[in-house]
Amino acid sequence: MATAQQQRTGLVAQKVGMTRLFTGEGDQVPVTVLKVDECRVIAQRTADSNGYTAIQIGVGTAKVKNVSKAMRGHFAKAKVEPRKKVVEFRVSPDALVDVGAEITADHFVPGQHVDVTGVTIGKGFAGGMKRWNFGGLRATHGVSVSHRSHGSTGNRQDPGRTFPGKKMAGHLGAEQVTTLNLKVVQVDVDKGLIMVKGSVPGSDGGWVLIRDAVKQSKPKDLPFPAAIRTAAAPAVEAAPPEAPAAEAPAPETPATEGEG
């Protein structure tokens, strides 16, 4: 059970898309489906060796030819297959997880709140109205060919320049955004799915980071330090029943002379 002072690791998931779930009362809940694909611990960072405490997690299986030689050695040291995505999560010293362990989707429980971080969809070069929600100029009465312009951006002779950070047209999207306090609605451990209520930043197929919500209290039944998949015990085959011992044949009586 995790307490407020204990900081658990997060998970790296892949955004599948959005759908809806129905409650027992018939209400529909819009959810985003996040898939956890063999999330394994690659390395540990300790205060003695690195000056901080964290664990490194890798998800998704990558082809060896697409992995650099340095990363191949890094994965070989952890005795895990090469991973597509590697991320570090800061944790408290008592929340370290052994290298090679697989963290499953039930690391988060239904009803708890999480913070999800992703890279938003890129929209290219956008004007002031689309990028900053400006109202634009009047549609009639003297305004000509500049209805969607953002207006003047400079000043008078003093200071005679445009201040940095002025809201103007420019590149929109493709930036890291964290959505806070999303509620976990359902978890499917067998399929590795986490369904959270509402939208999540990023496009379908993109990677997102899921952490315990920093502005909400943690449930009491959270697995600590993590929900780890344990290897199934090998099945013990039952010994076949022994065949009953065959009875020894009766000894033959030697034939005597004169018989027959």
C-alpha–C-alpha distance, residues 116 and 97, integer Å: 21
Model confidence at 258: pLDDT above 80? no
C-alpha–C-alpha distance, residues 209 and 54, integer Å: 15
Mean pLDDT over 80-90 rounds to 93
46-51-52-55 Cα dihedral, nearest 10 degrees:
-40
Model confidence at 168: pLDDT above 90? yes
Handedness of CA 109, 112, 115, 119 (dihedral sign): positive
29-73 pLDDT, tens per residue?
999 999 998 899 999 999 999 999 999 999 988 999 999 999 999
pLDDT of residue 92: 94
Q: Which residues contact 179 (CB under 8 A, 6 or more apart)?
A: 115, 116, 117, 198, 199, 200, 201
203-240 pLDDT, tens per residue?
999 999 999 999 999 998 899 999 998 654 455 555 56
Asked if residues 105 and 194 have their Cβ atoms less than 8 Å apart, the reply is: yes
Residues facing 15 on adjacent strands: 34
What's the mean pLDDT when you consider all of the chain?
88
More confident of the two residues 171 and 37: 171
More confident of the two residues 132 and 155: 132
Model confidence at 2: pLDDT above 80? no
More confident of the two residues 79 and 244: 79
Residue 34 tokens, joined: 């996040």
Model confidence at 243: pLDDT above 70? no
Residues facing 193 on adjacent strands: 35, 188
Asked if residues 181 and 216 have their Cβ atoms less than 8 Å apart, the reply is: yes
Confidence of residue 152 (pLDDT cuts 50, 70, 90): confident
pTM for this model (two decimals)? 0.80
pLDDT of residue 134: 95
Alpha helix segments (H runs only) across 16-127: 47-50, 69-78
7-36 pLDDT, tens per residue?
999 999 999 999 999 988 999 999 999 999
